[in-house]
Amino acid sequence: MLSFIAKRLAQSVLVMAIVSAVSFSLFNFVGDPVNNMVGQDATREQRLEIRDKLGLDDPIITQYGRFVGNMLQADFGLSYRIKRPVDDLIAERLPATLELVFVSAIISLFFGIVLGIYTGIKRNSWISRVILSTSLAGVSLPTFVIGIGLIYLFAVHLRWLPSSGRSGVVELGWWKTSLITLEGWRSIILPAITLSLFQLTLILRLVRAEMMEVMRTDFIKFARARGLSERAINFRHALRNTLVPVITIIGLNIGGLVAFSVVTETVFQWPGTGLMFIQAVNFVDVPIMAAYLVFVALLFVVINLIVDILYFVVDPRIRLGG
């Protein structure tokens, strides 16, 4: 067990190093931050001076070395755009993103499993057909189209919900939450639905397929032969066996939700890390871009690590084989 974890940890560190190096080397193609940092009447000398001060003319490898060195000391520098420490900014905006991801995960899990079971059991009912064909929209429509559509329906036309932003925020120590006020729920619901749709569809289709698969197996037939009630068969036997792959997918998709939140947060002006990243890209705010990409890479690596360890615990075949 220990050697297994150690091996996985070593791999994770390697992945982190590669991801950060690759993303860092991309920054030179994004453009020149200095132009955004000074007014149009700054002189050429002033621009050069800032470039020099920020070390933008050093070779990439030197810049990267400096970045890694600072990062190991937990120093991500100051945002070029808003001149505040990057780690403060991420810490400030992370709660918004995590709450959005949390609510979306709940929505996609709940509706994904419920609708998946329904369409799996009632394969031929017209409701199932409607659910399945609408779910196609969930995977095929781009997130921003869904977002704008929801805004126009619920905020502009019906005026039930706010169109954007995060209101009803309450401070619990350093964590700012919007999940304990009605205002907060009103503002989170549209972005959360938008973000959840893709995952919801995925889970729905997965659960449905698994459910149909399991229903054909011998032990279900045997259970039927034993005269168990339909409910017991469906929920105690079939559903349980369905959930193993679902749990795997969910683990991996939490990372996907954080990544997808970039688009959703931009459409809804949700003040999380994704919105911050987009603004940083437009400004060529290298410190924020670098820190954010490292953060996302770390997130994926940690989730994968946990999933791997869970496999190890859950599935005896890996234990024996590894």
Using the minimum distance from each CB to other proteins, give the nearer residue, 257 or 286.
Answer: 286
Exactly one of 24, 27, 77, 250 binds other proteins (CB under 8 A); that residue is 77
What angle, rounded to 10 degrees, do the helices at 126-140 and 86-121 form? 150
In the region spanning residues 102 to 131, those forming contacts with other proteins, defined by CB under 8 A, are 114-115, 117-118, 121-122, 125, 127
> Measured between alpha carbons, how far is residue 41 from residues 22, 33, 45 in Å?
35, 16, 11
CB of 40 to other proteins, least distance (A): 7
Distance of CA 124 to the CA centre of its chain: 34
CB of 258 to other proteins, least distance (A): 19
Q: Does 173 bind other proteins (CB under 8 A)?
A: no
Q: Does 282 bind other proteins (CB under 8 A)?
A: yes
Q: Is 22 helix (H, G, I), strand (E, B) or coil?
A: helix
Using the minimum distance from each CB to other proteins, give the nearer residue, 46 or 62.
Answer: 46
Q: Does 74 bind other proteins (CB under 8 A)?
A: no
CB of 159 to other proteins, least distance (A): 6
By CB under 8 A, which span of 196-204, 208-216, 277-285, 297-305 interacts with other proteins?
Answer: 277-285
By CB under 8 A, which span of 11-19, 47-55, 246-254, 310-318 interacts with other proteins?
Answer: 47-55
Q: Binding mask 223-242 vs other proteins (x if CB under 8 A, - otherwise)? A: ------xxx--xx-------
Q: Binding mask 198-227 vs other proteins (x if CB under 8 A, - otherwise)? A: ------------------------------
Per-position DSSP letters for 156-197, written without gaps between them: IIS--S-SSS--S-EEETTEEE-SSSHHHHHHHHHHHHHHHH
HSE on the CB side for 195, CA within 13 Å?
Answer: 34
Closest by Cα among 84, 75, 79, 90 to 33: 79
Using the minimum distance from each CB to other proteins, give the nearer residue, 277 or 300.
Answer: 277
Residue with tokens 């659960």: 207
Exactly one of 72, 74, 182, 225 binds other proteins (CB under 8 A); that residue is 182
Exactly one of 4, 11, 16, 186 binds other proteins (CB under 8 A); that residue is 186
Gyration radius from the chain CA atoms = 24
> Measured between alpha carbons, how far is residue 117 from residues 105, 213, 222, 223 in Å?
18, 12, 20, 18
Give the dihedral of Cα atoms 49, 50, 52, 57; nearest 10 deg. Answer: -120
